Chains A and B, each alone.
Chain A
Amino acid sequence: DAKTTQPNSMESNEEEPVHLPCNHSTISGTDYIHWYRQLPSQGPEYVIHGLTSNVNNRMASLAIAEDRKSSTLILHRATLRDAAVYYCILRRGTSGSRLTFGEGTQLTVNP
């Protein structure tokens, strides 16, 4: 599985945008870029995923670099509820795909 690199921690202020970076320089052509987050004492929850084009949903936006070696998860207006560990994961688009986690980024949101 290709590896991802994320900062250990980031801080943001409430109601400000947050840009969470992820590097994946060894990404293959069939790897989808997934983001999950884990709130305290809960299981991870899906945030967003994409392959080549930027993606938007009700939770966030995903910006993918043209060479696909990096991506950025964008929370448009952070709330206190967004404080969580955010995981950037590559998931192969072929059969037998695993789902393996790194250490993620701990996001702190200040009131």
Chain B
Amino acid sequence: NAGVTQTPKFRVLKTGQSMTLLCAQDMNHEYMYWYRQDPGMGLRLIHYSVGEGTTAKGEVPDGYNVSRLKKQNFLLGLESAAPSQTSVYFCASSYLGGNTEAFFGQGTRLTVV
């Protein structure tokens, strides 16, 4: 039982490059989330999805796009990376909303130079 798996675990990008972070869950969860965490700070919600084919903006969506074409996968895209997007990115999933626990991946450490 893998839970929530994030790919890749580490990445260094040059300013202006693009990349996609993959989050995969094998628990048949409806809800999926993408966060970023900067040093010494809490997690900030970027985008989230409440089901296959749906996405919604979180607290800090600018500069990111997402897609949820398959229920088990939630992709986070950076079209033109900027140094301000250097951060640790976490993905999470949960079966539904308030009365269910969320499971988190181990994070992707992204550096934009």
Contact = CB atoms under 8 A, between A and B. Distances in A.
Contacts, number: 72
A96 B96 CA distance: 9
Given A46-B101, A92-B98, A98 B42 contact: no
B44 A96 contact: no
B58 to A, nearest CB: 7
Interface string A23-39: 00000001110101000
Interface residues of B, number: 28
Interface string A98-111: 11111110000000
Interface string A68-111: 00000000000000000101000111111111111110000000
B90 interface: yes
B42 A94 contact: no
Contacts of A98: 33, 45, 48, 58
29 contacts: A31-B98, A42-B106, A43-B104, A43-B107, A44-B92, A44-B102, A46-B103, A49-B99, A49-B101, A85-B42, A91-B98, A92-B97, A93-B97, A94-B97, A95-B97, A96-B56, A96-B97, A97-B50, A97-B96, A97-B98, A98-B58, A99-B31, A99-B94, A101-B42, A101-B43, A101-B44, A101-B45, A103-B42, A104-B42
Interface of B: 4, 31, 33, 35, 41-45, 48, 50, 56, 58-59, 90, 92, 94, 96-99, 101-107
